[in-house]
């Protein structure tokens, strides 16, 4: 299917998030994706500053324990938010040797089945992740003394974000948009 074959309901005047002009993502999903990208960049920049400061402090024989704990805390956040950002772009690892041999209709059914399975797993992560968060408000981080729930919050939040982006991808699959048009830069 070429961009000209994309159903009229998916046509748009400008590309977004690596999608071609023929596949339009709803504005709230674009904004959500941009917010996730901005958070990942900001957290990554903060982590770079913290690591640099910690290295400099170690050169002078000093150590701030909270810097290490905050770095670990931010690493958890950037991992799950980064997973959502990758899911938005179709950048997670895929093994397609068998899928690539299928005809278009078979490939669409297989892609829909895989995406449905992923959504089911993400729903479980969201459900149990939220239970972990809810059960950990009484514990605190050792040095920062923040509620431990903040350390666990990225799990259900990242799962929810990946679920939203995955659900949109499933909508596109069911509308007949092939992977090459859904994620032209993922290969």
Domain interval for residue 129: 3-182
Q: From the CA atom positions of the chain, what is the Rg in Å?
A: 20
Structural domain count, the chain: 1
Angle, CA of 164, 160 and 152, to the nearest 5°: 160
Task: Give domain status of residue 63, yes or no.
Answer: yes
Task: Give domain status of residue 8, yes or no.
Answer: yes
- Model pTM score: 0.84
Query: Which residues of the chain are modeled with pLDDT < 50?
Result: 1-20
pLDDT at 114: 95
Task: Give the distance, in angstroms, between the CA of residue 12 and the centroid of all CA atoms in the same chain.
Answer: 24
pLDDT at 135: 97
pLDDT at 1: 46
Closest CA to 85 of 18, 131, 149, 14: 18
Backbone angles phi, psi at 27, to 5 degrees: -55, -45
Backbone angles phi, psi at 147, to 5 degrees: -60, 135
Task: Give domain status of residue 61, yes or no.
Answer: yes
Task: Give domain status of residue 187, yes or no.
Answer: no
């Amino acid at each position: 299917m070429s961009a000209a074959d994309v159903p009229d309901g998916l046509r748009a005047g400008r590309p977004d998030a690596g999608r071609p002009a023929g596949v339009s993502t709803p504005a709230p999903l674009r904004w959500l994706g941009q917010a996730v990208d901005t958070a990942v960049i900001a957290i990554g920049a903060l982590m770079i500053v913290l690591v640099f400061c910690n290295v400099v402090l170690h050169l002078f024989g000093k150590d701030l324990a909270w810097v290490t704990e905050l770095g670990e805390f931010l690493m958890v956040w950037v991992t799950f938010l980064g997973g959502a950002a990758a899911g938005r772009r179709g950048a997670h690892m895929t093994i397609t040797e068998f899928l690539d041999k299928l005809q278009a209709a078979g490939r669409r059914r297989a892609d829909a089945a895989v995406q449905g399975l992923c959504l089911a797993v993400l729903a479980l992560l969201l459900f149990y992740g939220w239970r972990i968060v809810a059960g950990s408000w009484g514990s605190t981080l050792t040095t920062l003394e923040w509620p431990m729930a903040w350390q666990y919050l990225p799990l259900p939040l990242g799962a929810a974000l990946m679920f939203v982006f995955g659900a949109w991808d499933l909508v596109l699959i069911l509308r007949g948009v092939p992977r090459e048009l859904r994620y032209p830069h993922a290969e």
